Structure 1
Amino acid sequence: MSKLRDVFKNGHKAFIPFVTAGDPSADSTVSQVLALAAAGADIVELGVPFSDPIADGPVIQAAGLRAFAGGITVNGVFDIVAKIRETSQVPLVFLTYANIPFKYGYEKFTARCEELGVYGLVIPDLPAEEAGEILPYTEKHHVDLIPLISPASGSRLEKLVQHATGFIYIVSALGVTGQRNDFALNLPDLIASLRKVTDAPLCIGFGVHTPEQAKTLAKEADGVIVGSAIVQMVADNADPAPVIGKYTKEMVAAVESAE
């Protein structure tokens, strides 16, 4: 049974914040994740920095560059998780580009995820047709492969969600990540279509940044994902943990008010 599924039991609406591993340092990331968990985050998404992050907008790209400047490596990301696990069992998922587990070795990468309690992988540049390469390893090591579904997915929905076990990441609008004020008009239709082909929880991300947006989206979906707004706070504050913790408390309250 997927450990991520447990989060959504009894109609619970999840708040899922994102931070970039190693931004601006490994120790800071540990503090950030612990602050997010203490503030009520249901799952924390940890970005594994990559040299060519095609789905990321300027805010998260800049975070990746700061992390690289601080010397982050894939092993360093796993070290961050190990440090978090000394004091917190908050569910973690990685956002990673496909080349990272490929070069690290699918077996080794997914085995370390299982060992350290990384429950899922979001891989933005992995086409559904190529998921078969990593799938035997994610299944063996009980790591959920989390598909990204966009408003343009159309008739391919059934194929895109066939391997979804943890939750499904719905992209709220086309384009890269970043704060926005408008979302795809067909989101309710997309959610209704997905409900017909999967029982996996549906979480919406890309551009969400206000409690009002979070509450509105949580009425339709099972969870809300916020990245760029939090990553910008990390960039703007020398000690970001208390700042993102306060913001997360507000967002958790907004999401839960939609239950």
Structure 2
Amino acid sequence: MNRIERVLKKGEKMLIPYITPEFPLPGVTLQLLEALAKSGADMIEVGIPFSDPIADGVTIQNSSLVALKNGITLKKIFDLVSLFRRNFDTPIILMGYANSIISGGLEKFIFDAVNSGVDGLIVPDLPVDEAENLIDVSKTYGLSNIFLVAPNSSEERIKLISEKSTHFIYCVSITGVTGERENFGDGEFVNFMSKVRKFSTKPFVVGFGISKREHVLKVWEWAMGAVVGSALIKKLSNASDVSMCVKIASEFLSELKYGSFQ
């Protein structure tokens, strides 16, 4: 059974942090993954740094540039996931752009990802209509595909994405790029969630703009999980060493999930 499926079967509300590997410092990734798993992360999303991340706001764009300067590569990401897998079963989901994934061969990418311990994949610039090859190869190796729906997605589109996603779908809470938002959970959000709940046959999580405990609780009213990315990346950018990164990530995740540091 895929680790994602195992977590979903628990039926519990999830918190899913996003990190950019080797940000803000070289050598931080493994300790950061372990700290997030210990602090209650139900799944962890790991970005594949890319020079032109069109779906990402300034915070994650900058973190990608720093990570690339710090020497992150696709092979290193796989190696780090393998090390993480020695002690932790927390599902790992990679988020990467199509060029990063197909440049070295799609099947090789998926084989290496699964072999390292990756459980799922999000490709924000690959429309589901053009993803049949990805879906077919992923099924062969047991990799979960997660496709995105947005507030302007039609009923038919939500149905299609729900059908093509393996275990769950990812709702982009706002039309635009990633980033923190002060206002979250307004009437437009409620209408969007109502539409997804009505037309999706798969569980769904929500990301983009989530930065506070109250945002997480609002998401949990509707969805199985909340994804927190830019807010965590922004906090980590202030860290001067690896131990500080671990402390910041652990306390922030615990605050978001439990309301206090556990």
Q: TM-score, normalised by structure 1?
A: 0.93
Could you report, residue by residue, the CA deviation over 1:183-223 in whole angstroms, capped at 9, with x for unpaired residues? 46333333333333333221111010000111111111111
1:257 corresponds to:
none
Give the secondary structure class of the aligned counterpart of 2:187: coil
The worse-fitting range, judged by mean Cα deviation, of 244-253 and 175-184 is 175-184
Which residues of 2 match residues 1-259 of structure 1 at below 5 A? Answer: 1-155=1-155, 156-183=157-184, 185-238=187-240, 239-254=244-259
**Distance in 2 separating the partners of 1:212 and 1:190:** 18
**Distance in 2 separating the partners of 1:197 and 1:179:** 27
Give the secondary structure class of the aligned counterpart of 1:93: strand
Could you report, residue by residue, the CA deviation over 1:169-192 in whole angstroms, capped at 9, with x for unpaired residues? 111111111100224633333333
**Distance in 2 separating the partners of 1:221 and 1:148:** 14
The alpha-carbon deviation at position 227 of structure 1 amounts to: 0.1
The alpha-carbon deviation at position 36 of structure 1 amounts to: 0.4
Could you report, residue by residue, the CA deviation over 1:84-110 in whole angstroms, capped at 9, with x for unpaired residues? 122222110001101111112111111
Matched letter for residue 181 of structure 2:
R
Could you report, residue by residue, the CA deviation over 1:25-44 in whole angstroms, capped at 9, with x for unpaired residues? 45201111111000010000
Deviating beyond 6 angstroms after TM superposition, the runs of 4 or more aligned structure 1 residues are none
Task: Return 5+ residue gaps in structure 1 as ranges.
Answer: 255-259
Contact kept, 8 Å, 1:2 with 1:165, in 2: the verdict is no
Contact kept, 8 Å, 1:26 with 1:80, in 2: the verdict is no
**Distance in 2 separating the partners of 1:230 and 1:35:** 13
Could you report, residue by residue, the CA deviation over 1:217-258 in whole angstroms, capped at 9, with x for unpaired residues? 11111110000011112211122111110111111225xxxx
Contact kept, 8 Å, 1:45 with 1:94, in 2: the verdict is yes
The worse-fitting range, judged by mean Cα deviation, of 27-36 and 79-88 is 79-88
Matched letter for residue 191 of structure 1:
M
The alpha-carbon deviation at position 49 of structure 1 amounts to: 0.3
The worse-fitting range, judged by mean Cα deviation, of 59-68 and 234-243 is 234-243
CA RMSD of aligned residues (A): 1.6
Sequence identity, in percent? 34
The worse-fitting range, judged by mean Cα deviation, of 185-194 and 29-38 is 185-194
Contact kept, 8 Å, 1:5 with 1:167, in 2: the verdict is no
CA distance 1:10–1:90, change in 2 (3 Å): closer
The alpha-carbon deviation at position 3 of structure 1 amounts to: 2.7
Matched letter for residue 57 of structure 1:
G
Task: Return 5+ residue gaps in structure 2 as ranges.
Answer: none
Give the secondary structure class of the aligned counterpart of 1:12: coil
Matched letter for residue 63 of structure 1:
S
The alpha-carbon deviation at position 11 of structure 1 amounts to: 2.8
**Distance in 1 separating the partners of 2:222 and 2:198:** 14
Matched letter for residue 34 of structure 2:
L
Q: How many residues align?
A: 254
Matched letter for residue 129 of structure 2:
E
The worse-fitting range, judged by mean Cα deviation, of 219-228 and 232-241 is 232-241
**Distance in 1 separating the partners of 2:2 and 2:111:** 16
